[in-house]
Amino acid sequence: MHNMLFLLSATIAAATGADDALKPWSANTDPTDVEKSHVEEITAGQHKYTVIQSGTMDGRNCRSPMGCGMSREGAFMQTWESNRSVRMENVGQTDIVNPWLSNGRNNFRSVDEIVSSAVTPDMTDAEKAFALWFQEIRYRHHSPGDNSELGDPVKVFNVYGYNTCGNDSICLATLWKKAGLKVAPVRALGHCISQAFYDGRWHFYDGDLHCVYLLRDNETVAGEQDIVRDHDLIKRTHSQGILLSEASWRGQNAAALYSYEGEVTGDRSGKTDTTMDMVLRPGEALVWRWGQTDPLKYHGKLYVSPAYKNVIYSGIWEYRPDFSQENWRQGATSVENVVTGPDGLRAEEGQTGTIIWTMRSPYVFVGGRLEAEGSDAKFFLSADGNTWRRMQGNLDKFFSIVGPPHYEYQLKCEMAPEARLRRLAILNDVQMAPMTLPEMAVGENTFAYSDQTTGDRKVRITHQWVERSASRPPEAPPAPVYPPDAGEAAGTDIVFQWTPPDDPDSDAIADYHFELSNRADMKWPLSMSFYKLISRASGVVKEKDKATNKVIKVTVKSQYTLPQPGLLTPDRTYYWRVRAQDDQGVWGPWSRTWSFTPRGPAYPLAVVVDYDQNKGVGTLRWKANSVGLPPVKYRVYGSDEKGFSIADKRYQSVRGITTEEMPLDFPANFIAETAATELAVLGCDVTLPGANKAYYRVVAVDDQDNRSGPSDYTTAPRPLIYSKPVQTATVGAEYRYQVRVNRSLGDLSSRMVDGRQAKGYFDIENPRYVLDRGPAWLTIDESTGVLSGTPETAGKVDVTVTASIDREVRELDEAALKWGREKVLSVTTESVGSATLKFVIHVQQ
């Protein structure tokens, strides 16, 4: 007979869920730390109770908002965590059906609950779409994993806390559809997004990159075709989440993903039947824990590693059948030839005893161990009840990182006549998403327990946490400096300023969190340009290590400067607030919500180019916007880039692989200022610098020199020959005339080149020039449009030149593009247009 003792010494620690080895928080200690616990005995199906946490620091006030995570900037930043574990255990004699512990922030047990957590019955469809998107980006970040798992909203919110774009587009679409919205995929190369339909149009929300783009009214969420048409809607807005710093090239790269001009079609949806339902048998417990095992255990995919392993948390699913009570049999799936004796379980005389237990959890199993006391009992594990693997104490090999996820398995115990089993604990590691654990914070914490058990129940909830008072949070910023509360702001290019708060410990202020909304309740920001960490905004002072060039200190001011005018709408009331973080990593409370109204001109409307064929002049016309202060003048901008951003000075642009065709520095695109509502911008006699372009925008200016944001762009007809012909020549001397036409550079876009995704200006229009009529001595360069030659005799010669533009049209497989893949079905050429110029050359002797 062989005695059997697997890890029995761990029994006491496991009984409460404590595990000092969990990293990183177990190693983060301070002399002020005080370990605390609270035990709540529950006998009712609905039970509320309060736990008070003292100290000054907790996980919530030591944690940044969730970031996108796409560019290795982190999922979130956290300096300390006060919570250690919450153990929910069935200490009664009957099964507990669907127990849950809510802190009011983790009710995501089903798709219905996820939707209900964000959506209220009085919301419009627009509010529903925005609310679900904003909830999504605060609970998940970008990281790869098992695609078969990560398109399920319930699992993403509760088990994983991350996914990539395709799966996130499925999750968000699933939630929108549950809320009653129509959804469709966006077509983008290398990226997957869903869009929602309401108010008669489509609206684009990127849950993966944490992006939402507004039309120029700064209220309507743009749709796919809006941003395909005008890339500036993206470039003027912050992309990729609150943790990523400002950089103009990020917006250009983001805009390059969108170029498909076809009608929106298709559908997108995912699983709606997954729940966090569970049953706790007598002696069974679920332990939510903050931190992770070392080595980390998680469910993933072959050759794929999560981007941020530090935010994968390790819980415990535990079962300890009590063999001293005859009802232990009720917790087993099957029991054959087993009897209970004074020294534990044994096989019936002359028989082999067999017990099978089914382990089932809504959290994915990622490891485990057995704690068994007895002799000669053998244990086997099976995923399907047919194929069994022999196991002893450590079960980790059964739950490998790759392979199918396990939410259920069977444990079999075989006992020969001489075998005994006196005690058994089945301890499974389960993966948990950190943002949906039932956390506590400093102060009063109200918890609501619920279950669906019929009859009596006895449940014990044990909270364990650490109270720390090493640093007190800064106070709330006391007052705005500008704009004044309930006051006005001049223009929309505002520098928000506030009074720095006091810090009780005299710690320096290391960061601010700024938020602005068009809602008084501040449920969500106006856009991601108004949901900012000031340390990531432009204008901060960064101190770098001279040896490594790494940033070692960031100095922030109590202000936030909007990157450009026009992101707010004049005469509309906005609301804003700020909170501060000290240099110990502790966030203080939000300030009061302040309000203001910007005053200034709004962007011009009805911008159009009227071309007079007879006069050969194109006139840009527009109308003043009735919103805001009346303009006294206008600034006109033009460019050959389709979705161009206005610029009063040279600027750098992303060129991608088209470096030969495009300059590194783009020229300023300001043309002229005028008090009228029209300006001649095309034609041989238009000599304004920057005129004769393919696209135009207009900015309004009021009598205080406050500028609006740019208008929507308008397109000029093309090609138009705008160079004035040289109409004199001399016998024996070279004649030369450069024919110039306006043409489009298109937009920075993405396509597959030599098997790799590349960016570039792939739609540059290259005019072709033909000399339709002219003397024998005159020729034209087909590609440059240079007319040249040397006349031999005097006289008059008639010349006719035609410039034409064709463009390449690629037909793409829309079904593939909906999942971010490019498949070119055909490539054809179509005519953009042509222009003809007739003139006479007077050849002199």
Could you write out the DSSP letters of every residue in 330-358? GGSSEEESEEEETTEEEEPTTS-EEEEEE
Residue ranges of the chain with per-residue pLDDT less than 50: 1, 6-19
Q: Going by C-beta distance under 8 Å and a sequence separation of 6 or more, which residues neighbour residue 648?
A: 668, 670
Closest CA to 678 of 690, 694, 693, 696: 696
pLDDT of 4: 52
Closest CA to 681 of 621, 618, 633: 618
Report whether 823 contacts 194 (CB < 8 A).
no
d(CA 401, CA 373): 29
Strand order, beta sheet including 735-738: 735-738, 786-789, 779-780
d(CA 686, CA 702): 26
Handedness of CA 386, 389, 394, 400 (dihedral sign): negative
Q: Going by C-beta distance under 8 Å and a sequence separation of 6 or more, which residues neighbour residue 177?
A: 183, 269
Which contacts qualify for 253-257: CB closer than 8 Å, 24 or more apart? 253/654, 253/748, 253/759, 254/209, 254/211, 255/227, 255/231, 255/643, 255/747, 255/748, 256/231, 256/654, 256/656, 256/747, 256/748, 256/749, 256/750, 256/759, 257/188, 257/189, 257/190, 257/191, 257/750
pLDDT of 157: 98
d(CA 139, CA 1): 53
The number of C-alpha atoms within 13 Å of 826 and in the hemisphere containing its C-beta is: 3
DSSP-derived 3-state class of residue 624: coil
The number of C-alpha atoms within 13 Å of 288 and in the hemisphere containing its C-beta is: 25
Q: Going by C-beta distance under 8 Å and a sequence separation of 6 or more, which residues neighbour residue 750?
A: 189, 190, 256, 257, 259, 757, 758, 759
The DSSP bridge partners found for residue 541 are 555
Helices (H), 455-571: none
Question: What are the start and end residues of each CATH 3.10.620 domain in the chain?
Answer: 111-255
DSSP-derived 3-state class of residue 208: coil
Report whether 533 contacts 242 (CB < 8 A).
yes
Chain centroid to CA 623:
37
d(CA 331, CA 441): 36
d(CA 301, CA 309): 14
Report whether 476 contacts 134 (CB < 8 A).
no
Query: 728-844 maps to which CATH number?
Result: 2.60.40
d(CA 658, CA 34): 61
φ and ψ at residue 322, rounded to 5 degrees = -95, 100
DSSP-derived 3-state class of residue 487: strand
Instruction: Provide the CATH topology of domain 480-596.
Output: Immunoglobulin-like (2.60.40)
Closest CA to 433 of 163, 206, 97, 129: 163
Torsion of CA 374, 376, 381, 384, to 10 degrees: -110
Q: Are strands 279-280 and 96-97 parallel, antiparallel or unpaired?
A: antiparallel
Neighbours of 402 (CB within 10 A): 11
The DSSP bridge partners found for residue 317 are 286, 428
Report whether 240 contacts 533 (CB < 8 A).
no
Report whether 466 contacts 54 (CB < 8 A).
no
Closest CA to 528 of 232, 169, 222, 214: 214
Architecture of the CATH domain 605-715: Sandwich (2.60)
DSSP-derived 3-state class of residue 526: coil
Closest CA to 802 of 843, 829, 839: 839
Q: Going by C-beta distance under 8 Å and a sequence separation of 6 or more, which residues neighbour residue 452?
A: 45, 97, 98
| H or E stretch covering 251 | helix 248-255
pLDDT of 553: 76
Closest CA to 490 of 570, 586, 376: 570
Closest CA to 159 of 28, 300, 26: 300
φ and ψ at residue 299, rounded to 5 degrees = -100, 135
- Please give the DSSP secondary-structure letter assigned to residue 245: P
Angle at which helix 125-137 crosses helix 165-178, to 10 degrees, equals 140
| Burial environment of residue 351 by CB neighbours within 10 A (0 to 12, 13 to 18, 19 or more) | middle
Q: Classify each residue of 360-389 as buried b or exposed e, where b means 16 or more C-beta atoms within 10 Å of its C-beta.
A: bbbbbbbbbbbbbbbbbbebbbbbeeeebe
Show the CA angle centred on residue 254, arms to residues 118 and 529, nearest 5°.
50
Q: Are strands 728-730 and 824-844 parallel, antiparallel or unpaired?
A: parallel
For residue 686, what are its two tokens? Answer: 């238009």
Show the CA angle centred on residue 435, arms to residues 574 and 504, nearest 5°.
65
Torsion of CA 412, 415, 421, 424, to 10 degrees: -10
Using one digit for the tens of pLDDT, what is the confidence trace for 83-96?
Answer: 999 999 999 999 99
For residue 818, what are its two tokens? Answer: 């909906």
Q: Classify each residue of 523-536 as buried b or exposed e, where b means 16 or more C-beta atoms within 10 Å of its C-beta.
A: ebbbbbbbbbbbbb
In one letter, which amino acid is 574? Y
Closest CA to 768 of 834, 711, 706: 834
Helices (H), 267-380: none
Handedness of CA 339, 345, 351, 352 (dihedral sign): positive
Helices (H), 672-821: 814-817
pLDDT of 9: 34
Report whether 790 contacts 299 (CB < 8 A).
no
Out of 2.30.30, 3.10.620, 3.30.465, 3.30.420, the CATH code matching 111-255 is 3.10.620
Show the CA angle centred on residue 275, arms to residues 171 and 385, nearest 5°.
115
d(CA 476, CA 732): 83
Q: Are strands 141-142 and 162-163 parallel, antiparallel or unpaired?
A: parallel
Question: What are the start and end residues of each CATH 2.60.40.10 domain in the chain?
Answer: 480-596, 605-715
Closest CA to 516 of 492, 540, 542: 492
pLDDT of 20: 52
For residue 81, what are its two tokens? Answer: 């965590």
